[in-house]
């Protein structure tokens, strides 16, 4: 048998009066909300969270804002959720403020070292700019924009066979250029 539902306004009045049993009931209620919110990252802070929620409930009860017994559970749940969200935001702010030691020498070193893949891509697209415009358009559509052969053909109005020939010619020209380049043959 489940028994009668709890009269949370009466429990809150007892809590304000200093009743330890009422305090235990409210703490159990708030712990249940914390479990529902899956606030397990803050498990070591649950006592603090519960205390903040209880203090908020007592302050609002004393101010006369909590008189509807049906609204009490929703209000307690919302206050608990807000306190958990505040903890999450505080944890994120602390994480964002974490800095790495950075001095002038580190900055110069970081600026001087370029990602080899980025340098190779930059050199490749510079070489593409030396190709005829129709070959550039085909390479750009297929490799930069990631479109299909048919989509590039439709957009440019170039027949599919002609577009494939231009692509082949462009790739061959790039292979010849980089095969002759002693910097890239390493």
pLDDT in tens, 56-79: 888 888 888 877 777 788 888 888
My answer on whether 92 and 118 are in the same domain is no
Same domain, 129 and 83: no
Does residue 151 belong to any structural domain of this protein? Answer: yes
What is the C-alpha separation between 118 and 126, in angstroms, rounded?
12
What is the mean predicted confidence (pLDDT) over 115-124? 78
Domain-embedded: residue 108: no
What are phi and psi for residue 148, nearest 5 degrees? -80, 165
Name the residue range of residue 143's domain: 114-180
Q: Do 147 and 88 fall into the same domain?
A: no
Please choose, from the candidates 172, 176, 184, the residue with its C-alpha nearest in 3D space to the C-alpha of residue 119: 184
Assign 107 a pLDDT band (cuts: 50, 70, 90).
low
Q: Which residues contact 12 (CB under 8 A, 6 or more apart)?
A: 22, 26, 57, 58, 61, 66, 72
Verify that 67 and 16 share a domain, yes or no.
yes
How confident is the prediction for the chain on average, in pLDDT? 79
On whether both 118 and 150 belong to a single domain, the answer is: yes
- CA–CA separation, 42 and 90 (whole Å): 12
Final residue of a structural domain among 45, 64, 97: 97
What's the rounded mean pLDDT across residues 93-119?
A: 60
**Domain of residue 155, CATH code:** 1.10.10.10
Domain boundary among 33, 67, 97: 97
**pLDDT at residue 28 is higher than 80:** yes
Specify whether 119 is located in the same domain as 166. Answer: yes
Q: Is residue 186 part of a domain?
A: no
């Amino acid at each position: 048998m489940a028994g009668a539902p709890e009269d949370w306004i009466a429990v809150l009045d007892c809590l304000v009066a200093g009743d330890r049993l009422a305090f235990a009931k409210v703490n159990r209620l708030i712990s249940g909300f914390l479990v529902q919110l899956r606030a397990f990252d803050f498990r070591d802070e649950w006592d603090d969270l519960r205390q903040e929620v209880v203090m908020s409930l007592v302050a609002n009860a004393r101010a006369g804002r909590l008189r509807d017994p049906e609204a009490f559970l929703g209000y307690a749940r919302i206050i608990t959720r807000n306190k958990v969200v505040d903890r999450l935001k505080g944890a994120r702010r602390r994480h964002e403020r974490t800095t790495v030691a950075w001095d002038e020498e580190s900055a110069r070193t970081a600026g001087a070292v370029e990602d080899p893949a980025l340098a190779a891509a930059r050199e490749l697209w510079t070489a593409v700019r030396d190709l005829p415009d129709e070959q550039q358009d085909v390479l750009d559509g297929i490799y930069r924009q990631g479109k299909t052969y048919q989509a590039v053909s439709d957009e440019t109005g170039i027949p599919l066979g002609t577009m494939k020939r231009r692509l082949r010619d462009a790739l061959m020209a790039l292979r010849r250029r980089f095969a002759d380049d002693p910097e890239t043959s390493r």
